[in-house]
Structure 1
């Protein structure tokens, strides 16, 4: 395999990364090639931590396949360069696997790099895609293991994305706001045709296109929608209102292709293709390709298993410090003690079942609480930025009023700015500007008071540390400021509007 690799020419960047970016993660490939990946953060911190996401759409035409469904996402890797930034992530290929990349891994002879080789590798089966991943992994483990990200000292590996990973990334992950995440597509300010190849003369016009010609989604991923549809690792499942149905079917295919109409293209589009065609051979299609992710094993070491065991044991327990006011009754712990003291095995089994059900309910409660706290933090940060803008507007009106006062001293001729109606109008504008600013400032203070009443400081601290600000990375510093004000209120119980106003204005 790769017998001509030594004589192969180094790939020029235009053949594998036409839209290079400083945040790209580049993996070597056979034949002196490369594949580019993007980090997809998941807003999680520990191995057993995951984030709730709603996939699918309530507006899809085929609700049995696309209806909104709750899911959970996490990442296999944690940040290693900064101890304070341990947010977990996985990596997804920036572009669909190209013909050039496919041939470099699957063929005995190295291909010659050319622009046409940037077209997605199509007319390949799910088994071909899995085999590509397998062969690429074998090559990487031998020739580029040091380039692969590691988790707990264990190297990551290439595979097809899961249905959840793909849609989470396609929608924009934490790079978009919660409302943008639930739209039919990621934000497309320049129109869908600037981001996706679909059917029709105004777009793909019935032809497969080179990868990376259009604009990327908010995570820097190209052609997530359109061009070649993409195969998933996990099989297709029907939707059953609030969950997926229990039957595993054929190949899950996402994103639509250059043969899909513009009206059908969406992040929720999910179809089933058979593993085998009518002739008994592995199913392929001229518009169906794939992209890969870099993932990590879960149980990486004995120490990691112990860490997960400890986290699991704490799930759903009545943790006193995380109770709203630190006064929980630790019912789960008491029930566990009673269970251990019971000798009758049938009663013990029933009590254990009750204990597990209670833990599950507590875990759901805690996740909803944490989501509410993150929403409050985002709201506080947003209000603080608004206060800063409204204060700047108010000061402009004050300056304008002062100018009028100087230009129109007592006894001046009532013309222009000095007309009585103009003077009254400027006073009204000033009063309105102050009123709006004070209203938002009061709302800001109210959120601080209500947050401190609803949650204890340790519980809020945990969510501040996570800083899961989906699509609002610029608000991070304002979350820190809101947290500073909230801590002050926890400490002394004083509503200090003037100081909070000054801080928001100067931040």
Structure 2
């Protein structure tokens, strides 16, 4: 037996070499071509490495945030009465996992730019490395929810062992990969902060070129009954491909029915979102939810489907360090505080302190419990009120900026019409009138007079518009500055500016700053002349580069 081992080993090595030649694999140090994992590269992509030289592309999903316990109240769901028990409109809250000092006023999480492909799945399977060609660029399907959870775990462990620095970190703690919650998925699928409220609540994100350019759905004009490689169509406003159609996508949590405005208490199977290549276009809506059983009916196996795939998110633990815990504790203690006028805050804090002391010294346990419950209820009500107040403040400042911009534009149009009348139309009329003896000129004079009349009507209309814009702007400055303190207003500015930037509304940012400075001026000097506010916005006449700063 010992004499035959070299021969057997040699034959085994030859067989392995022949097998490798017949099925070439990508070595760990031989990176995939970019089109294998990111066929449509774009600014802002976050690319994480994988085994076998592979990689996976992600996109940031930013959310407004002014503090560690801040979150965003969002309306999710779909307005389809016949399916309301599945996906009726409801409000929920969502927050980002990571902060970025370079982008104040926001936190973010990462979500897969594409659905996970067969090649990416195989790269973590433990078998031979895959050939990442076009056939392996289709979404990985025919896998169970449990398989996907295991895949995310393997990928997280591989990154922590081999590319820890590539992961975003929160307070020094690196992130990890998992399936998205359905609120994370729906917020990203709708376009997040990059779209207007109207477009966010629409059945599908904006598709200017038509649905067939964005979604693989049932029909000969689209999917034609099969999966397609990721990244061939156009993305949603956040740069996510195939978020609707192609393969439906698994969510992290279990399915719950809708109970008219909130989710029902019973948790069932897992959730699938987005529709697939066999779904009619009329049924593909961002808010639609489907329950999938964890286990196949009548079989002892986990549910798998050719239409069901997934994409991953990168998130982080909530309490990432002792320092972060201290920050959370301080934010928690401050949450019920009024934040309005200091005298109001002191009165509310004093009342709550008195209630706490009464509870601590109550001799009767029932009375003690009732006092503590009352204090907790009051604090919860204050938190709800403050959340609503903060949303209102951001909306009012946004409205103030829009009004300031409108006032400047209306004023510029008025000046342009006045210049056209006095500098062009009337001098031309006087020249014509000097030649009124010429019969051919009389009609031109009549036409010129009629045209001047039209221009004067336009001027009068613009004067009324400017007057209304001025009054509305000054009223908004006065009411907002009197209703809210500078402290709570200033706290909302980073989040509002981040939202405007995400929507491509940077042109409004100077008007935000001017509106806030005008509120401070009116608050600090209630006798300040409102005309000075108007002068700030209209100074410079027809300037084309935005408003001047307040004097």
Relative to its length, the structure with more helix (as a share) is 2
CA deviation vs aligned residue, 1:316-353 (integer Å, no higher than 9, x gap): 24445478x76744332331232233233332111111
1:291 is matched with: 311
Q: Kindly indicate whether residue 189 of structure 2 is the aligned counterpart of residue 170 of structure 1.
A: yes
Cα shift at 1:32: 0.6
2:95 is matched with: 74
Q: Kindly indicate whether residue 389 of structure 2 is the aligned counterpart of residue 382 of structure 1.
A: no
CA contact (8 A) 1:40 1:92 kept: yes
Secondary structure of 2:515's match? Answer: helix
CA deviation vs aligned residue, 1:185-231 (integer Å, no higher than 9, x gap): 11222222221111111211212111111111111111111111000
2:84 to 59, 63, 69: 63
Q: Kindly indicate whether residue 153 of structure 2 is the aligned counterpart of residue 134 of structure 1.
A: yes
1:120 to 134, 139, 142: 139
CA change 1:172–1:277 in 2 (3 A) is same
- Distance in 1 between residues matched to 2:342 and 2:397, nearest whole Å: 17
CA change 1:7–1:138 in 2 (3 A) is closer
Q: Kindly indicate whether residue 529 of structure 2 is the aligned counterpart of residue 499 of structure 1.
A: no
- Distance in 2 between residues matched to 1:422 and 1:164, nearest whole Å: 58
CA deviation vs aligned residue, 1:414-457 (integer Å, no higher than 9, x gap): 54366332222221112212322332232122211111122122
Secondary structure of 1:90's match? Answer: strand
- Distance in 1 between residues matched to 2:212 and 2:314, nearest whole Å: 29
Q: Kindly indicate whether residue 391 of structure 2 is the aligned counterpart of residue 371 of structure 1.
A: yes
1:221 is matched with: 240
1:281 to 301, 306, 326: 301
- Distance in 1 between residues matched to 2:146 and 2:123, nearest whole Å: 17
Superposed counterparts of 1:306-321, under 5 Å: 306-319=326-339, 321=341
Which moves more between the two structures, 100-109 or 231-240? 100-109
CA contact (8 A) 2:339 2:487 kept: no
Query: Which runs of 5 or more residues in structure 2 are unaligned?
Result: 1-23, 437-441
CA contact (8 A) 1:236 1:251 kept: yes
2:499 is matched with: 469
1:448 is matched with: 477
Cα shift at 1:71: 0.7
- Distance in 2 between residues matched to 1:73 and 1:258, nearest whole Å: 29
Q: Kindly indicate whether residue 47 of structure 2 is the aligned counterpart of residue 26 of structure 1.
A: yes
User: For this pair of structures, how many residues does the alignment match?
Assistant: 502
Secondary structure of 1:233's match? Answer: strand
- Distance in 2 between residues matched to 1:484 and 1:185, nearest whole Å: 39
CA change 1:304–1:421 in 2 (3 A) is same
- Cα RMSD, aligned residues only: 2.1
CA deviation vs aligned residue, 1:232-282 (integer Å, no higher than 9, x gap): 011111111121111111010001111111111111010000101021211
Query: Which runs of 5 or more residues in structure 1 are unaligned?
Result: none
- Distance in 2 between residues matched to 1:7 and 1:316, nearest whole Å: 54
Secondary structure of 1:184's match? Answer: coil
2:166 is matched with: 147
2:322 is matched with: 302
1:181 to 200, 205, 215: 200
CA contact (8 A) 1:97 1:290 kept: yes
1:484 is matched with: 517
CA change 1:501–1:46 in 2 (3 A) is closer
1:459 to 488, 497, 510: 488
CA contact (8 A) 2:64 2:107 kept: yes
Cα shift at 1:387: 2.3
CA contact (8 A) 2:277 2:307 kept: yes
TM-score between the two structures when normalised by the length of structure 1:
0.94
CA contact (8 A) 1:464 1:483 kept: no
CA contact (8 A) 1:320 1:327 kept: no
Q: Kindly indicate whether residue 430 of structure 2 is the aligned counterpart of residue 409 of structure 1.
A: yes
Superposed counterparts of 1:309-348, under 5 Å: 309-319=329-339, 321=341, 328-330=347-349, 331-348=351-368
CA contact (8 A) 1:8 1:32 kept: yes
Cα shift at 1:481: 2.2
CA deviation vs aligned residue, 1:71-111 (integer Å, no higher than 9, x gap): 1100110004x3x7252110001111111111111241100
TM-score between the two structures when normalised by the length of structure 2:
0.87
CA change 1:420–1:164 in 2 (3 A) is same
